[in-house]
Each structure stands twice: as structure tokens, then as C-alpha cells.
Amino acid sequence: MEVKRMKNADELGAVLERERGKFANANPKSAAQYEAASAFPGGSTRSVLYYPPFPLSIAKGLKSKIWDVDGHEYSDFLNEYSAGLFGHSNSAIKDAIVTALEDGINLGGPNRYEACLASALTKRFSHMERIRFCNTGTEANIAAIQLALHVTNRKSVLFFKGGYHGGFIWYPNGGMPLNIDFHEKVAPFNDEDALDEMFALHGSEFGACIIEPVMSAGGAIPATRPFLVKLQAKCIEHSVILIFDEVVSSRLNLGGMQALHEIYPDITTLGKYIGGGLSFGAFGGRAELIDRLDMRRPDAVAHAGTFNNNVLSMAAGLAASTVLTKEAIDRINGLGDAAREQFSSISPDKQKMSISGQGSLSCVHFESKEVHDLYHLHLLMSGYYTARRGSVYLSLETTESEILGFLDATRVFVERFGNYL
């Protein structure tokens, strides 16, 4: 059995290299672009975009489609890791950006868009009494955590394994050397017994606890409602400020996952798609917490940022708030739910090839990293653009026919490479 396993591994390695060779031959302009990017370590300024032999360089996008520099067309199932929820070049958002450009972009004061966007977001997230803007979801999470630690006068933060809260706040297997030091403790996700133990040992140390109601980068894994109920109760018991990172999960319900579960945190963080595809972040919550940033108060805490209210993001975000409707969310959630059901029926071995997620957010999992890479390459060469790690983020422009095509490509993969699972 061991000899057979080793033989399969050797064959798989050879197959993967062969497919990478086909990919390289089909994409000479992307290869040249990659070689020209030598000023970047590893040829890229974003770690997540790298995959061997080189990442595709994307030239343009329209609705649900993108084209690489070699002219190949793809159905975009990545959509900028959820920042591209609206698809490519949405007309309402595009028009808003053009109008804002005509009036000037670095105005150095409050502008005519920001208060309207703040009002739209606090109406959408009903328990968000006050809100502040920043530039990214990473910034929003850092600001929310630091504010919570300041208010509680504590130093430690509770995170969860697999959680991603930004480029310097994530907890994958094996750790992350560049993480900010929050004197953190990291608990298992969805483990109620471990949660009890963690709070029994360290509850009085925590100033903040942050969780994604649906883990995104960690594998599209929803938190169970009982787990969130217990987490909120423990935070209340130990006077810990509870933060819901809804940077991604808020796409699944108009009021966020908090409204779906009817479990409301002290602070909510937002980002990704909220800026209509432009850089944006926000954090908001109970007035008594966020009002600590009110500069009219003698004890005010400053929250600065040159681009916190940048005109283009404000205009795009305001336009985006009118595009995102319950009906639009429900439609793509339905597509995602149906896709996962069909994917599961295609998989010959649920232990070695599976899919998780909720609504329009999914992640494909393989037991073997090499098979995972092979599947990613197969999808690219079949015209479906996804993340190397298996993440799938549908956009408002995604069509049912594209879902069916994605499933057909998966069937072909199983037929061609299923013996390597």
C-alpha cells in the first residue's frame, strides 16, 4: 500500500508539472509580465496572488468576466476576494466615480458623500449607532481592537484559529510571524467546551474578542449559532468587548450575519465590497464606545487617516449602497447553495474532495495540496478564475449558466484526475 501511495505521489507530481507547462505555454504575456516585476520580492506585491509557475496578469473586466493580457476570457469566481461583489464596471458605481473625479479628489475636508454613506450603513446595520471610516478592513479591525483595549484598560485579545482579520491579524495553521502583538489567546473555532475553558482561565484578561461569523480565508466555515450565543454570553459575563468582523460575511445578508442570527456585537467591522470596489473600511457600534472618538469631548481619543473620507471611495460606496438589495443578495446566495449541493454530488470521496460555505461564499477543500493546485490550474485553463486556496466569491453579475459551467469543469477534473485524490 505504501509503495502504491508513493507511486501515485510521483505520478501526481509529474502530472502537475506537465499541466503547469501547458499553462505557461498558453500564457506567454503573463509570463513576461511576471518576469518584468522583479522589483517585487517574488514578482508580486500581494502574497495571496502568487501561484506557480506564475500568476495571470489581468487586463480588464466587465460584468462577470475578466480577460488576461494574453486575451483569454474567464468567468470571475474570485471577484477580488469579495471586494468585487458588484462585478466589473457596474454602471451606477462607475458613473459616481466619474462625477466625483470631475469635482476633484483631494479636497482636504468633509465632502458631500461621507455623511450620506454613514447614514446608509447605520440604517443597514441596525445596531450600529455610530460609525467611523478608514481605508481597509485591516485598518478597521486594528482600530476596533485598539479602541476596545483602551476602553477596557486591558491588554489581551481573544482570536480564533483560522481567523483572518487583515494582513497582520490572522491565525492560520503554523502561525504568522508578522502579526501585531495583541497579547492574544487563540481558541478553536466552533468549540464550545474550549471556549468555556478559555474564559475560565483568561476571561479577566481580555479587553476584546473578535470573530468572523463566517470564516472567509479560513475556509468558508460558518460559526454555529449556539457558539455565537455562548461567546456573547461569555463576553458579557467577563466585560469583554465583542467585535464581529463582517468585512466579508456581511455580503450574505442585508443586515449582516448578526441580523440573521439576531446576535448583535458591541462593534462591527466592515470593508471589502462596501466601498464599491475601491479601498474602504469602517467600524461602528454602540454610541458609548464609538463616541470616545468625538473630538468635542475633553477625553477624546484621536482616530486619524488622510484617506479615511477619500472622495472616490465615498462616492463609490454611496452608489454601491443603492445597488445592493435583498433580492440581489438572495439570488446569488441561491446560486451558491445550489452549486455546493451539486459539487458534493460530483465528489467521489467527501473526505478528500469537499466544499464548505454559506450562500455566495464557498471554499473547495482537497486532502492533498498537490491535487488542490492541480484543480486550480484545471479551472483556470477551463475559463474559471478562482483563488489558489479554493475560495469562491460570487458577484451580483454571476449567472446560472456560469455556475453550471463551473460544475461541468469540476466533473471533467474528476474524470481526468480523480484517481489522484
Task: Tell me which of 323, 352, 376 is where a domain ends.
Answer: 323
Q: Is the same domain home to 233 and 141?
A: yes
* Neighbouring residues of 27: CB distance < 8 A, sequence distance ≥ 6: 54, 56, 68, 70, 72
Type of residue found at 271: G
Q: How distant, in Å, are the alpha carbons of 197, 282, 285 from that of 187?
A: 9, 26, 24
Residue 112 is given by DSSP the state T
Tell me if residue 68 falls in helix, strand or coil: strand
Distance set, CA 416 to CA 15, 43, 141, 351, 409 (Å): 11, 32, 43, 19, 11
Q: What is the CATH number of the domain that holds 330?
A: 3.90.1150.10
Alpha carbons 264 and 246: distance in angstroms, whole number: 12
Asked which of 299, 323, 347 is the last residue of a domain, the reply is 323
My answer on whether 221 and 270 are in the same domain is yes
pLDDT digits (tens, 9 = 90+) for 381-396: 999 999 999 999 999 9
**Which pLDDT value is given to residue 3?**
45
Does 353 share its domain with 265?
Answer: no
Q: Are residues 64 and 109 in the same domain?
A: no
SS3 category, 21 = helix
Contact in structure between 366 and 414 (CB atoms under 8 Å) = no
pLDDT (0 to 100) of residue 174 = 84
- Count: domains in the chain: 2
Per the CB < 8 A criterion, the answer to whether 390 and 372 are in contact is yes
Same structural domain, 63 and 164? no
C-alpha cell at 353: 474532495
Q: Which of 323, 356, 389 is the last residue of a domain?
A: 323
Mean pLDDT (the chain, rounded): 97
Angle between the N-to-C axes of helices 369-381 and 400-417, in degrees from 0 to 180, rounded to the nearest 10: 130
- The answer to whether residues 413 and 340 belong to one domain is yes
Answer whether 71's CB lies under 8 Å from 304's CB: no
Whether omega before 188 lies within 30 degrees of 0, making that bond cis, reads: no
Q: Are residues 187 and 222 in the same domain?
A: yes
Residues 260 and 390 in one domain: no
Give the C-alpha separation, 259 to 240, whole Å: 21
Residue type, 352: K
Structural domain containing residue 283: 91-323
The one-character DSSP state at 164 is B
Give the residue ranges of the chain where pLDDT is below 70.
1-7
Give the residue among 357, 362, 281, 367 at the shortest CA–CA distance from 317. Answer: 281
- Buried b / exposed e over 327-346, threshold 16 CB at 10 Å, is ebbebbbebbeebbebbeee
Query: What distance in Å separates the CA atoms of residue 246 and residue 53, rounded to the nearest whole number?
Result: 34
CB atoms within 10 A of CB 363: 23
CATH number (domain holding residue 164) = 3.40.640.10
The pLDDT of residue 5:
56
Same domain, 393 and 290: no
Same domain, 51 and 101: no
Question: Is there a single domain that holds both residue 317 and residue 337?
Answer: no
Strand 281-285 versus strand 267-270 pairing type:
antiparallel
